[in-house]
A and B are shown apart, each in its own frame.
Chain A
Amino acid sequence: MDQSQDLCAIRVRDLVVGFGPQTVLDHLSLDVRRGEILGLVGASGGGKSVLMRTIIGLIPRRSGTIEVMGHPVGDRTQDAATTWGILFQQGALFSSLTVRQNVQFPLRENLVLSQELMDEIAIAKLEMVGLRPQDADKYPAELSGGMTKRVALARALALDPPILFLDEPTSGLDPIAAGDFDALIKTLQKTLGLTVFMVTHDLASLTTVCDRVAALADGKIVAIGPMRELLQSEHPWVRAYFHGKRSQMLQHEMR
């Protein structure tokens, strides 16, 4: 028991979340191991984002427990920034701050450090996610979709959190940019030893970067394991997801 808890970055047990009469997550349990990249798939509107937002405390839960790094998640989110970094679907960059200030924001709010060091760290993070130092003085409105995601990733990583949440990181990117982004996440995960929780629909990301994939259907995790195992799954929804027309080409390559 102790051993397994040590290995789990995120531990969700019997989680129930709903809005009004509707139950979105129904007694859901999920373990995310330390240092792995877990991909979460599910139908649109099926509660993937709800699960992510519940874990990070943005949505109240009806019952169940959530443990992050061995500590139960309460209602308070004050140490949140040092525990996890979050890449929101639309980037959620602060539009009144420049790229540099966006990346510095978590540093400024959580640490006491000199402006010089803060500037260097911000540029370092931007270069690590593949941006140029010249982009640091732009405003979010001047960035392309791919750049916005990179800046948002740099901001999420500003404090080197052990856990990184990604909400559809490659949606809206062209295949080359999406591939680069996947490679980037893989590299960062290796160098920084991150645990990555990734909500995605991108079958290519699932096959290339995810160590394990969890399938969410009917408010529960119906299958979890490496991509190869999920492809063998007998669950009707999982079969439909991975063996639909769109997935067939990818299937072909896997064999």
Chain B
Amino acid sequence: MNSQPLLLATPSGDVLKLRPEGPWTAANVSALETLSRSVGADVDRFRAVTLDMSGVSALDTLGAWVLEKLSRRAASSGRSAEFVGVADHFSGLLDEVRQVNRHTPAPTAAPNPISLRLYDLGKATVGAREDITIFLQMLGALFMAVIGVLRHPRSLRLTSLVYQLYRIGWQAIPIVALITFLIGAIIAQQGFFHFRRFGAESYTVDMVGILVLRELGVLIVAIMVAGRSGSAYTAELGSMKMREEIDALSTMGLDPVHVLILPRVAALVIALPILAFIGSIAALYGGGLVAQFYGDMGPAIYIARLHEAISVTHFEVGILKAPFMALVIGIVACSEGLRVKGSAESLGRQTTTSVVKSIFLVIVLDGLFAIFFASIGM
């Protein structure tokens, strides 16, 4: 027996005799392709082709298909092709292969690139409208759920709320405090370094205080929470959606918004101002440490400067924004979670979308608040 497949072509009059030999199996596929290509031109020249299968030692679907393709090529345009000497245990496979690939689906015409662009643009526009609709729907559903809870306070899922508070509030404290501490320290260091040139070092404290309390404290914390907890919400609700848990809840007469989403969003709304406060304090502390070790400004002076520089208004401006940012993060995370379809890929995509969208919206919201507070003189 040959260990390599062969294809012997012997012309006799009008008929081309093809004699495949050896193992015609997937393992030798490159040899098979070369062999069948090499006789391709000959096959076209003869009126009839016989395939003598008696020399084939092993055959699988792939080999059978390559032979069948040759015979189809030979049989086209009124000529004839036949298999002879087919061993019993190969005939079933050859018969099977003869049935397949008969209906080649019409190739779809390549779409016009301009219309494709227009299609994408239109789709994105409709998608944006849908996003806004979904956001507003979720806001409305949450509002209704809150009203429901106000009317029947016992219907609040207290256990769930406390558990979510623990997860996204308590457990987030170390990392939030660490990062805001570092950011406060970095801002202070930059302030001392650059302000020193024109002798305005003491204004560093004003900068750190105002920047941290008004903007950075809450913004950094909101972005971190969006990345840490928003993504978790989306993944959780998404996998619940995938495993039909949410459908199961609805069929038991429970509202998923009430049971799953309200405790999560409420926990965010409660936890984010607290985290923002802790973050701001950590940042001020970081700034104070830099002031002492890098700016040669003792703690007493730092605190006194801070006292002069900032008022409670700055603190209010920062902390007032936190619940709204939490609401946006919560709504985006939960509604993206509910948009997960069946596949794991869709879960990943929706989680990414959730984080990107909530960070974007948090920053936009921050900008709107800045305009608002400026216009009312806070």
Verify B26–A123 contact, CB threshold 8 A.
Answer: no
A187 partner residues in chain B, CB cutoff 8 A: 96
| B152 part of interface (Cβ distance < 8 Å) | no
Contacting residues, chain A, for B26 (C-beta < 8 A): 82, 107, 110-111, 159-160
**Cβ–Cβ contact B341 & A124, under 8 A:** no
Please name all residues of chain B whose beta carbon is closer than 8 Å to the beta carbon of A123 when the two chains form the complex: 100-101
Pair A121/B65 contact, Cβ less than 8 Å: yes
List 13 A-B residue pairs with CB atoms under 8 Å apart, sorted by A's residue number. Answer: A111-B27, A117-B33, A117-B66, A124-B61, A124-B101, A127-B99, A127-B100, A134-B105, A139-B343, A157-B61, A160-B60, A187-B96, A192-B93
The one of A117, A128, A133 in contact with B103, judged by C-beta atoms closer than 8 angstroms, is A133
- Pick from A96, A125, A193: contact of B89, CB below 8 A: A193
Interface size on B, residues (CB 8 A): 30
**Number of chain A interface residues as a range:** 20 to 34
Using a CB–CB cutoff of 8 Å, the interface residues on chain B facing chain A are 25-27, 29-30, 33, 60-62, 65-66, 69, 89, 92-93, 95-97, 99-101, 103-105, 341-346
| Chain A, range 100-144, C-beta contacts under 8 Å to B | 107, 110-114, 117, 120-121, 123-125, 127-128, 133-134, 139-141
15 new A-B contacts at CB < 8 Å, known A128-B100, A139-B343, A160-B61: A95-B345, A96-B343, A107-B26, A111-B29, A113-B29, A114-B33, A120-B101, A141-B342, A157-B61, A160-B60, A187-B96, A190-B92, A191-B92, A192-B61, A193-B89
| Whole-angstrom distance between the Cβ of B32 and the nearest chain A Cβ | 9
* Inter-chain contacts of A107 with B (CB < 8 A): 26
Tell me, in angstroms, the Cα distance from A203 to B88 when the chains sit together.
32
Contact present for B27 and A82 (CB under 8 Å): yes
What residues of A have a CB within 8 angstroms of the CB of B61 in the complex?
Answer: 121, 124-125, 128, 157, 160, 192
CB of A141 within 8 A of CB of B30, answer no
Q: Is the interface of B mostly helix, strand, loop or mixed?
A: helix
A178 to chain B, nearest CB (A): 22
Contact in complex: A191, B93 (CB < 8 Å): yes
Whether the pair B344, A124 counts as a contact (CB closer than 8 A) is no
Residues in B with CB closer than 8 Å to A124 are 61, 65, 97, 100-101
Residues of A at the B interface (CB closer than 8 Å) are 82, 95-96, 107, 110-114, 117, 120-121, 123-125, 127-128, 133-134, 139-141, 157, 159-160, 187, 190-193
Tell me the minimal C-beta distance from B150 to chain A in angstroms: 40
- Alpha-carbon distance A128/B147, docked complex (angstroms): 59
Nearest B residue to A157 by beta-carbon distance? Answer: B61
Contact across chains for A95 and B93 when beta carbons are under 8 A apart: no
B159 to A: closest C-beta gap in Å: 31
Using A111-B26, A117-B66, A120-B65 as known contacts, say yes or no to A191 and B60 having CB atoms under 8 A apart: no
Residues in B with CB closer than 8 Å to A117 are: 29, 33, 62, 65-66
Chain B residues with Cβ under 8 A from A111's Cβ?
26-27, 29-30
Residue contact B30 to A113, C-beta cutoff 8 Å: yes
Quick one: closest B residue to A119, CB to CB? B101
Q: How far is the CB of A248 from chain B (nearest CB, A)?
A: 33
Question: What separation, in Å, do the CA atoms of A139 and B69 have in the docked complex?
Answer: 28
Chain B residues positioned under 8 Å from A193 (CB to CB): 89
Contact partners of A134 in chain B: CB under 8 A: 105
The chain B residue with its CB closest to the CB of A136 is B105
A35 smallest CB distance to B (angstroms) = 10
Q: How far is the CB of B238 from chain A (nearest CB, A)?
A: 13
B101 touches A127 (CB 8 A): yes
